[in-house]
Structure 1
Amino acid sequence: MTQLILDYLIEGIYYFILALIVLIFLSQLYLSLPRKFRKKYIGTPDFKTLVILPCKGVDYTLDENLKSLKDQSYGNYKIMAVIDSEDDPATDHIRSNGIEYVINECQSGGSGKVRAIATALRKFDDYDAYVIVDSDVLADRNWLLNLLRPLIDESNGISTTFPYFEPKNGFWSKFKTAWGFVGVGMMQSDITVFGWGGSLAFRKGLFDEKSLNDFAEAVSDDMAITDLCRAREKKVAYVPESVVTINSPDDWHVFREWSIRQTSLLLSKSRNAYYIGILLYGSSALLFIGAILLSVFVSAYFLVLFIPLIMNEIKMFKRLRSKQAIYILVQILLPFFYVWNLVVGSKTKEIAWRGNRYSLYK
């Protein structure tokens, strides 16, 4: 009798796990289906535009990046770099490329980048539109034109894009490339789209004195501007035609610090992101493990459980500029790394960013 009960219990556990795996499979299959982003912004903007370029230190390919920002097809704009002091090593590069600069004068409690942006907005208040761009960004000639187009429609509060991380080192720089595709996926949904501060445009009226003062106390410019846009009941416009490149020579140490910083910044604003991420990527990792165990020990028919992974592999290879076999391994490892990253990020209370440390919970 005891053995019979034990047999029923084991059988019940087996079918429960099997049902759970099938449910995860169906949800992952749905998420892996290809989706097309159909929005395309048209028109010819004519905003008098200030491109704000916060600089600290010498980024990889900095001179190439600065030259690309100067060589834009859009004519009515001016670049203004913002540095903490003329002793900064970026200053010589800024001067040699003929770019004007000002010294960061904001004394608020925000991050160095946020204070640099606030300085420029206060000093130069006679422009129709403002663009924030990171110094590690390499832009094509139509980047600025495409980025400004959505602002013709006043229902759009900010216009943004997302970068392609071009690997310039070994495995972890390639891992970062694939990691970036998650950001692209978020941008393609009206629910999860956000203003990426590495390439972001907005009209003059987005900030008033109070909101600028509040902004100057923020750590993340991305989240602060996105929150302000939504508070104004404006849309966030994603412009894939304005994609920029970030040349990334990341090793493990650099990538680890960068990925944890990005995740902890997100979690500091939205705790729900942690639970959603654990559910999404944890189930993906569980499906992979379940597919291996069931196909090896139960039946080869369970190889069908690998379909979502294969579809995600195909989707990733379509996005890659350089197709390499190593990305097959990268795609397999991504869900496991995301779960680890979310756990570490949820426990991170302070981040390091360009030589400074910032508390995420004041």
Structure 2
Amino acid sequence: MGINMMEFAPTRFVWGGSVAFRSDLMDSSSLEYFSTAVSDDSAISKICSEKGVKIAYAPAASPKIVVMDNKKTFLDWAERQVAVSIIFDKRALIGGIFIYAGIIAYMVLMIYLSIFYGLIFLTGFIPYILNLINSGMRDTKNALWLIPIGIFLPFVYLYNIIMGAKTKEIRWRG
């Protein structure tokens, strides 16, 4: 979900291991704020916003993340990430709902049109399929799993955003 949000300029944020910024971004008041923040990513994002510094996204700089979590620990982590993002910027909630509800509505519409008006509407899935192919080229080891997983991801992401928005307490790992 983070990568999708990074691709959309209004929801772009600073994200961990793929971050670089000029030292002059951190003046004394910024360093003070940063030192007390719950999330370093969100704090730097807020500092950039307040100073009018645009956050760029370089897909080639995205780190490959390999974790050994199970489904529950992964969803807990994802809900924490979303909750922290929403606390710092409500646009993460609005943008996330807009993006993933839109993707789901588009998929349902293409299926409906294909069934009732002709298979030509399956061409509406070409951008989605190209995205899955692109993802498969980035991770060739798991490429065969990307299509079935990719179909359900917008639903998982929308659920995650809703659960993150409902979070009242953040429990950190460990």
Pairwise TM-score range, normalised by the shorter structure:
0.7 to 0.9
Question: Is 1:207 aligned with 2:26?
Answer: yes
How many angstroms apart in 1 are the aligned matches of 2:104 and 2:26? 43
Which structure has the larger Rg?
1
Alpha-carbon deviations, 1:293-343, whole Å to 9, x = none?
332344333323333322322332233343522110111111111111111
Cα distance in 1 between the residues matched to 2:12 and 2:133: 23
Aligned to 2:99: 280
Shift of 1:202: 4.1
- From 240, 259, 264, give the equivalent of 2:83: 264
- Using the alignment, how far apart are the partners of 1:258 and 1:203 within structure 2? 29
Q: 2:162 aligns with which of 339, 343, 359?
A: 343
39, 51, 56: which is aligned to 1:232? 51
Q: The residue matched to 1:322 in structure 2 has which SS?
A: helix
Taking only the aligned residue pairs, the percentage that are identical comes to 38
Alignment of 1:15-54 (within 5 A): none
Question: Does the CA contact (< 8 Å) of 1:261 and 1:351 recur in 2?
Answer: yes
Q: TM-score, normalised by structure 1?
A: 0.42
Q: Secondary structure at the match of 2:13?
A: coil
Q: Partner residue of 1:311?
A: 130
Say yes or no: does 1:255 pair with 2:74. yes
Deviates more, 1:259-268 or 1:231-240: 231-240
Structure 1 residues 291 and 227: alpha-carbon distance in aligned structure 2, compared to 1, 3 A threshold: same
**Alignment partners' CA distance in 1, 2:79 and 2:53:** 30
- Residue 185 of structure 1 is matched in structure 2 by 7
| Residue 162 (structure 1) aligns with | none
Relative to structure 1, is the Cα distance of residues 303 and 247 closer, same or farther in structure 2, using a 3 angstrom cutoff? Answer: closer
After superposition, where does 1:104-183 map in structure 2 within 5 Å? 179=1, 181-182=3-4
Aligned residue pair count? 174
The 3 A distance-change label for structure 1 pair 242 and 327 is closer
Letter of the aligned partner of 1:248 in structure 2? V
Structure 2 residue ranges without an equivalent (≥5): none
Which consecutive residues of structure 1, in runs of 5 or more, have no partner in the other structure? 1-178, 356-362
Q: Identify if the C-alpha distance between structure 1 residues 324 and 261 changes in structure 2 by more than 3 Å, giving closer, same or farther.
A: same
SS at match of 2:159: helix
| Larger relative contact order, structure 1 or 2 (CA cutoff 8 Å, min sep 6) | 2
Q: Cα distance 1:230–1:243, how it changes in 2: closer, same or farther (>3 A)?
A: same
Q: Could you tell me whether the CA contact under 8 Å between 1:181 and 1:316 is conserved in 2?
A: no
More strand by share: 1
Aligned equivalents of 2:100 and 2:153: distance in 1?
Answer: 8
CA RMSD, 1 decimal: 2.7
Residue identity in the other structure for 2:44: I
TM-score by length of 2: 0.80
Q: Is the 8 A contact 1:196 1:222 kept in 2?
A: yes
Determine the C-alpha separation between the residues in 2 that align with 1:235 and 1:306: 32
What's 1:326 paired with?
A: 145
